Amino acid sequence: MELRQLRYFATVAEELHFGRAAERLHIAQPAVSQQVSRLERELGLRLFDRSSRHVRLTSAGERLLVEVRAALAAADRVAVLAADLTAAPMNVLRVGANPGLGPRLDRGLERLRRANPGFEVELELVGMPVIDQLAAVSRGELDMTLLRVTPTGEGLRVIDLWPEPVVAALPEAHPLARRAAVRLADLADLPLRLPSREQDPLFRAFALDACRSAGFEPRLSRPTGSPADAVLEIANGSPAWTLVYADAVPEAGASRVAVLPLDPPLTARGCVVIPRTRTAACVAGLRGAFGAGGGGD
């Protein structure tokens, strides 16, 4: 069974006339008749009642027409997609990233260009939740993603590269805000604001694990959005605290918030995540470009 046979059958079914169908298809009428007859033989079904005066679909032909139209529509969509892919530039680099990692991405790409003069790409930043980014990398739909917390998952190669210092943010008026540093356990009585599982499951799990390692189960308050949003809400809401990446605090630009280092220090690990199928040479190049030294830290 060939696609053209299905297309010929659908056209005759719409016209109910082999001559008009041939005109629409821009081919000779005998060719249409031959291909439809061949389709009937291959299927073992009579699709049309033919006479010198009329052409009509049989009941089998009517049922088959529904599925043939769906198959032709799917084939047309494939053809359009193939045309788009053929027309699109082949040097597009599709990248995801956690908020705030744009400067590191820019520095890393520039370092790749310097190391490889022929490396010229058009960057496409793809915005989606972290979990969706990882799934897209695994499927090959994203070339890579830059994350602040190391993930796990099938089909992924995680290149652990740079330290991500994490600090505590709490209301400026709170007694603990006068300290030079704060222990996580000292914050146990305050509600903790963290991103939802949907927003950033990796950082949420990292923060909860840190609290449990410090010996307490945190009192979770309502979820936050971005780290900058969390700092802003803590500055203008009821007493609470949060953990944020150190470089997210200036982005928030909020007053009435104290940002304290933790004792002992708390550090996540930033990484580049790529499909597992990438070569060792690719891994080495990314490690040099986006690592703690290569990234500009």
Tell me the pLDDT tens digit for each residue of 114-168.
877 766 778 889 988 888 999 999 998 999 999 999 998 888 999 999 999 999 9
If we measure between CA atoms, which residue out of 242, 232, 161, 231 comes closest to residue 208?
242
Do 143 and 64 share a structural domain? no
Do 155 and 275 share a structural domain? yes
Residue 86 has a pLDDT of 47
Tally of structural domains, the chain = 2
Do 135 and 13 share a structural domain? no
Q: Is 292 exposed, middle or buried (0-12, 13-18, 19+ CB in 10 A)?
A: exposed
Report the 10 Å Cβ neighbour count for 201: 17
CA distance 47 to 32: 14
pLDDT tens digit sequence for 44-93: 989 998 887 889 999 999 999 999 998 888 777 656 545 544 454 447 78
CATH code of 57's domain? 1.10.10.10
Domain end: 46, 67, 87, which one?
87
**Percent of the chain scored above 90 by pLDDT?**
49
Q: Is 245 exposed, middle or buried (0-12, 13-18, 19+ CB in 10 A)?
A: buried
CATH code of 254's domain? 3.40.190.290
Do 112 and 200 share a structural domain? yes
CA distance 265 to 183: 9
Do 9 and 147 share a structural domain? no
Q: In the numeric block, which tokens belong to residue 145?
A: 């993603």
Do 41 and 135 share a structural domain? no
Domain end: 43, 68, 87, which one?
87
**Mean pLDDT throughout 175-202?**
93
For residue 186, what are the domain limits?
91-297
* Mean pLDDT score across all residues of the chain: 86
Do 96 and 63 share a structural domain? no
Residue 76 has a pLDDT of 75
CA distance 250 to 61: 69
Do 117 and 252 share a structural domain? yes
Do 101 and 18 share a structural domain? no
Do 295 and 152 share a structural domain? yes
Residue 100 has a pLDDT of 83
Do 129 and 66 share a structural domain? no
Do 65 and 38 share a structural domain? yes
Entry pTM: 0.64
